[in-house]
Amino acid sequence: MSTRPALRRHGGRPRAALLIALLAVLLAVAPASCAPDAEETGVIARVNGHPIYLSQLESTYDLAQLGWTGGASPSVARLKRDYDAILTELIVQELIRQELEKRGAEVTRKEMDAAEAEVRADYPEGGFEEMLVEEYIDLQTWRTQLAARLAQEKFLREIIRPGITIDYEEAKAYYARNIKDFYLPPRLRFLMITGPDKDVVEKAAAMFEAGKDQQAVGEQYSQISVQALKMRQDRLPSAWSDILAGLEPGHAAKVFKGEQGGFETLVLQERIPGKVLDPTHAYPLVEKVLLERKMREAFENWIDRRLQVSTVTVSTHLLPAPGDAEDLRAEGPGETVREDQDAPREEEPREGAEVQGDEQTGAREEAVRQGLPRDLSNEDIAPPGQSDNQEGI
């Protein structure tokens, strides 16, 4: 679990288009409903009377910039634009908090404690506090953002999701329209054996060729490492592709010197031909895509409805000043606020053993399987002829 409790996934942070649209609405009504600056020191906006403070804006901005090494400091115009986007995010968070409170579904102390404990479990004793100090993060600020994230997730799970249904005919029609996205390119299942001694690696490979399983080989030769991989044929490293091309299933390649030292060999287990994923196995993927789309639309529609009946006041200091647009154009393109892969979609669970070791890391990462039918991975699914840097659903 990330130590930074930024809102994410289903509407986590509103997507860029939604932020811009919402910001436009807020700034459009702001001149007519700007709270006097002297009303309360440090208040930059109010949502149905509830204040949002400058300190909240600044701390959220600081959290968003952790680890950012973008070079020169932003101009005043760009900083104001970033602040506008974060203020919009804080307003959405407050609208959600108020909705949960109205329904008696606020984030509980127990839920907060459990989420914080999950994060702390990733650190050795005292490591979490040390991280906060090193990153200049105030614990209370971190907890505030954690609470906002939990509220967002609860809102989507308990309020938005129950109102969404996906009809079988709708899923069937989507599958028919996007049949090319469910093509499974040819794949290979194989073992990678590594060890410090060439003779030991050869003997281990011979045991696999004789039909022994991984447990038996590991008990016989404890000094070797065996990794079971399944990869798209067109995404194999060129060296592996050449080695596996000349093998029949059940046979091992000649032992070769590893790039990081030691010795390696590959044992081909199966060649899986390309095919189109049938509707039964495609349905979970189709359902996921349609659910994402409907969740996003429902979330944006909810925000729009809430704004129609809410009173939102914004400080005049955050309104665009003359020349801001020109300054931004002169700077060139840039990010409003760095996102944490905030596209509104559920996180996909990984299954199977994670690949160990640092040799051929990029290729092995592609082999880590995700929660798709019959051990399919996202890398498996792509239209025929699709290039390596493109993926299907």
Instruction: Give the residue-averaged pLDDT of 214-230.
Output: 91
- Identify whether residues 302 and 236 lie together within a single domain: no
Q: So what's the pLDDT on residue 73? A: 64
Q: Nearest-5° angle of CA 352, CA 281, CA 277?
A: 100
- Identify whether residues 136 and 266 lie together within a single domain: no
Instruction: Give the residue-averaged pLDDT of 196-205.
Output: 94
CA gap 118, 1 in Å, rounded: 7
Helix (H/G/I), strand (E/B), else coil: 256: strand
Q: So what's the pLDDT on residue 176? A: 93
36 lies in some domain: yes
**For residue 112, what are the contacts with CB-CB under 8 A and spacing of at least 6?**
143, 146, 147, 150
10 lies in some domain: no
pLDDT digits (tens, 9 = 90+) for 166-187: 998 999 999 999 999 899 999 9
Burial of 181-209, coded b for 16+ CB within 10 Å and e otherwise, reads bbbbbebbbbbbbbbeeeebbbebbebbe
340 lies in some domain: no
- Identify whether residues 322 and 298 lie together within a single domain: yes
* Contact predicate 338/359, CB 8 Å: no
CA gap 86, 64 in Å, rounded: 9
208 lies in some domain: yes
- Identify whether residues 76 and 107 lie together within a single domain: yes
- Identify whether residues 105 and 243 lie together within a single domain: no
- Identify whether residues 156 and 66 lie together within a single domain: yes
Q: So what's the pLDDT on residue 381? A: 41
* Contact predicate 221/199, CB 8 Å: no
Tokens matching residue 53:
């403070």
Least confident piece of the model among 20-24, 133-137, 322-326, 368-372:
368-372
Tokens matching residue 153:
């997730």
Q: So what's the pLDDT on residue 392? A: 32
390 lies in some domain: no
Q: What is the domain count for the chain?
A: 2
Tokens matching residue 323:
């020349």
7 lies in some domain: no
- Identify whether residues 58 and 151 lie together within a single domain: yes
Of the pLDDT bands very low, low, confident and very high (cuts 50, 70, 90), residue 18 is low
Q: So what's the pLDDT on residue 326? A: 59
pLDDT digits (tens, 9 = 90+) for 301-341: 999 999 999 999 988 776 666 555 555 555 555 544 444 43
Least confident piece of the model among 28-37, 110-119, 173-182, 210-219:
28-37
Tokens matching residue 342:
């905030």
Q: What is the CATH number of the domain that holds 191?
A: 3.10.50
- Identify whether residues 219 and 139 lie together within a single domain: no
What DSSP designation does 378 have? Answer: G
pLDDT beyond 90 at 351: no
Q: Which domain holds residue 207?
A: 186-273+351-380
CA gap 362, 255 in Å, rounded: 21
pLDDT beyond 70 at 237: yes
Of the pLDDT bands very low, low, confident and very high (cuts 50, 70, 90), residue 97 is very high
Query: What is the β-pairing status of strands 187-195 and 263-272?
Result: antiparallel
* Contact predicate 82/61, CB 8 Å: yes
Q: What is the CATH number of the domain that holds 62?
A: 1.10.4030.10
CA gap 54, 43 in Å, rounded: 6
Q: So what's the pLDDT on residue 376? A: 40
Q: So what's the pLDDT on residue 271? A: 96
- Identify whether residues 243 and 362 lie together within a single domain: yes
386 lies in some domain: no
pLDDT digits (tens, 9 = 90+) for 123-155: 999 999 999 898 888 899 899 999 999 999 999
> By percentage, how much of the chain surpasses pLDDT 70?
68
Of the pLDDT bands very low, low, confident and very high (cuts 50, 70, 90), residue 29 is very low
Q: Strand pairing partners for 252?
A: 267
- Identify whether residues 217 and 250 lie together within a single domain: yes
pLDDT beyond 60 at 8: no
What DSSP designation does 124 have? Answer: -
- Identify whether residues 21 and 87 lie together within a single domain: yes
Instruction: Give 261 or 159, the one with higher predicted confidence.
Output: 159
* Contact predicate 290/247, CB 8 Å: no
What DSSP designation does 165 have? Answer: -
- Identify whether residues 121 and 147 lie together within a single domain: yes
Of the pLDDT bands very low, low, confident and very high (cuts 50, 70, 90), residue 368 is very low
CA gap 109, 272 in Å, rounded: 50
Provide the edge-to-edge strand list for the sheet that holds 312-314.
Answer: 50-53, 43-47, 312-314
70 lies in some domain: yes
pTM > 0.85: yes or no? no
Of the pLDDT bands very low, low, confident and very high (cuts 50, 70, 90), residue 59 is confident
